[in-house]
Structure 1
């Protein structure tokens, strides 16, 4: 009941005993319920079949569902039970598939019936009880329904026997013809080993990957699923095929597994002549379970209920150490397969090896297969040239060209070599790669492209406008989207192996990379989005021009960059934008300031200067909670150059709300970086006084007075502030005599400097 099965049934474009199309299915009234029950009973009596809803009858156009399909399997069974008195096995799924250039919804209904014709002959389904028997469209007790070609008909029991015999003869003939024309897909059929043919003549050793895969397979028994993932054509199938043959060839020397079942969902193959259709050996859960039953010589049980078959297979996987290889899982749309393998019981002894273009999100062990290195390309190319006996030059220039155009994908290299064998002209071959109708690009990327969201498709297409790997900020500017939306798209593209995320060890800056061949595919897709291409290019160029202007403004701020140890160009640009924002705020243009601060943070989200300035702006607006969040981010990026600046200003935020304990904490943190900043030391003395820590407070003021009295050429205003604060602290703790003594001492000392005349009056008035 997978999407593969649905596509196959739609493409049949013709009805028969086992297949019926319906444009719509309405079960609101009894008349429609009776019609549906008749069709189901008829299909059951020919051994089962399918109803596809969303396909126009007679013309067979796949129009899709007009409205959501609201009936589940139980509801359909209830309808048939009510109308016929029979309990029949009916299942329904809905699928959204890309067909005729758009996505459409269809419902796929499966009526199960014994495929054993002897059982059909002995056990026809006969209506019980009747339903609306007085109506000409009703169902009468004892009626038998059958499919004759593409019609549902009512028949007698004698007619049933003749029709079944006719059907048996057709099926037997069909089975004989199929056995003649379809040999076993397996290259190795030996005991419990079923291994598909290899897709290579010579295997290029990738020792690290091979050893890593073996370690994962033979490692922790509690983790039985290994996900080998990477872009299309990177060599995942080749790697697991090598592993299957390795374990088979060493089964007598070092028996790791009791058996191997190797299945592939691959339905297309890239050849020298284009893309070839294949018949997959894996397409649904039922198919997987049946293959396992065949492996253990239980073919006679394939007609049992699915739950019974699953239980039996789980017992086999718990009894035997089996390696189950499921290749090209991105092609399979039956989610029940993953549900089955991930829910194997604790007694399970087997391992499940998946390959996919997508990294699955479960807890299984992942192994990424990356593109070939330049050295590996050279080795791989030499092997392929020798295999095909070609005169392709093996010089550095040729290797570099093939490496660039192939992106290091083995499949792409093999295709190029095959095309060279046909044309004899390497330049013509290289020019075919980026063309809109390139079979290589179609095969490698289109299937993964189709499952991306519209947002992710646009993000990948726009990525092709950048010469160098962009940051998230640059990417969001070109897309004209918020960062969180672009991050959502990037996560999809990373999972689908279109791009990779890399972090600079020095700057901790993240950039987003795609292989050259991927960017060619993306560029082709962007050409199909003329509006997106225009707006992205304009937005990016406008940003570059703005940054050129910012760069011209950098010189006046060189001292600021030096003080804060700023080396990243993005942070320099962000600081200038923050300075502009501060100017806007001073002009009471709060909206303009907010916009510039956000631009600054988008340019460099880790700039402590920007975070602090933005936090102070929020403080000025009374948005203390927002200010604190910004300062907490700044604290996470503190370094030797910015520590005092961050912690001191953080203390001022808490001073605004009179949280003196945190003011004290952050002032002390600030002074760890810049202890000679006397204003901060004075503020710390004041806040300790407010917290009742009078002795600590007075000691701070005494230290400040001592420093100021020894200063050359003379003290600053800090002397007056320290004396004043000391007197006030002594008065608060009721040491009046000592306070009076210090007051007089302050007045006498400060008289030595005429500039303190006004400050002396303030102290006299205490």
Structure 2
């Protein structure tokens, strides 16, 4: 278990805890049972020198291979200063994070940052060097350059990769790296927000595929724009796709610039703890959570310290006649009449988009009942599902069979997905359809019947994992799932993957843990918890196992138990309050006070990407100190989440600052950062335009065209205003007279 705890500490970039769990004493030695090199750590007597001769360069290439190997696994530690017998001999060459990364950057790129620590410094200045390598995100990392040729051989080739297997670094050729990347590809759900910026916070889609429903979509958008309607309420049975449609509409509203602000919240955000699980403070009610979200998005977090009544009063005055949108998902699960009252009496000009199984809001509300899929939509939905590996057999269904199958399950998308799981052929699907038709069930009853058919066919390990995921509403890391299920590790891991494939569980990315976690849909959780009532003993046993894991009762040493407990809870030093106070001081114009608070926040948690990012923006816009802003963005970038909207924003702003820095390598450095941002969030028009300006500066006009042509028809006027003149120039330079003429005509008619 300690092996997993060290992995968690590495994933959270919590080097002090990782080092203390691995090493003890002074001079240091590996703790009992941790002296064997493995897939998480490697011992070396010394680090390479800073010379630039062939031999030294080759030594650094080998270090780069180890770094990439750990990065492609679960992250790891390179320990310098221990000999082959694990005795402390001390590293002699003085390094820091910058020097270490400067030597490996050409091989691993600029987006992988390794933190280097000098620990246990002796009187003769020998020390223990610790390089903490973070784990990768969903993409396999590759070598950016080939290793030096020594005797006609290279340790690795550009485009290849490396993997850590047990105590060895395995080198992959470019072709082998391609195969490995394909094998590792997996659908990832759960990025919390697709947009998270001042005045806009929009929930990210939770679906892999979205089926366009033009009639319903038009009704939703028309209702949101209707000045007579305050609340647009999407209602219908569970599993009908209400959240997917509402999320689609909210993201469309952001792209079209219809609203001055958008605030999103969901009942699934509530972090509930089961009895005996963690000593967490009681969570805020959903109404207070909505008020806090509005405070955060509109930029006055200091109001969160006031009473609920005072907050509501301030918020009403601020958002009145503001043309803003509140998006509340899963309203029926929120047992808080104050929230319903607030939505029934929204300030003038503010609109709300809610999803619920029933119509809860009555005043100035337009309920839109989400109907079953039509025959045409059923065929389209089955074809979309058939693109997933687990449901590829559905591709063999004819259109008529798809319609028959869909009608048998009332055209409920989630019921269709569950019915497809655990089947291997069209014959099985047709048989299932006849069974469903014979039950004569509809709506929620049919959905539960669909779930029961899948649930009853689960293996004991799969059922144990699903029951563990139902205990808490927040996503659980893999180790917690294994501990709660109470089955062998390999069986639990296989069960998790099967449940994800079947659509019963979801893989989500937790930016605080910097790792993937697992959760289930609220409707699935409700069905599983109902089953708990039939087997209360099994439920209590799973809760006890999960509680024991979070409380680290398996760790005998009391000091280490406290460290492990912190890691398992996913908690780092909390700088949130200091950052909020700094933002409030900045808004008041108290720049000196804000600067001190930002400094305190960074001192409390030096690896906080949040504190570094907001501090960078303070120096950029308030102090006009772009050098300090760049330095802070380097800190934010090196500690950013492995994927997601936060990473995209950090790399976007970092790239824009670099582009305008006046450095000799400004364009190439900016381009590298902006590419990361664009890959993380291809729909971001700011990153797209900034990257296009880099291509323009180096004369890569074909790349400008490729990047900006998709925005020609965008409804966002700001994006068109900035991007189309640059696209016109690219057409001119690339000798595209027809496209140039078409764009000129289009611009003249706007």
Normalization by structure 1: what TM-score?
0.29
Higher relative contact order (CA 8 A, sep 6+): 2
Normalization by structure 2: what TM-score?
0.30
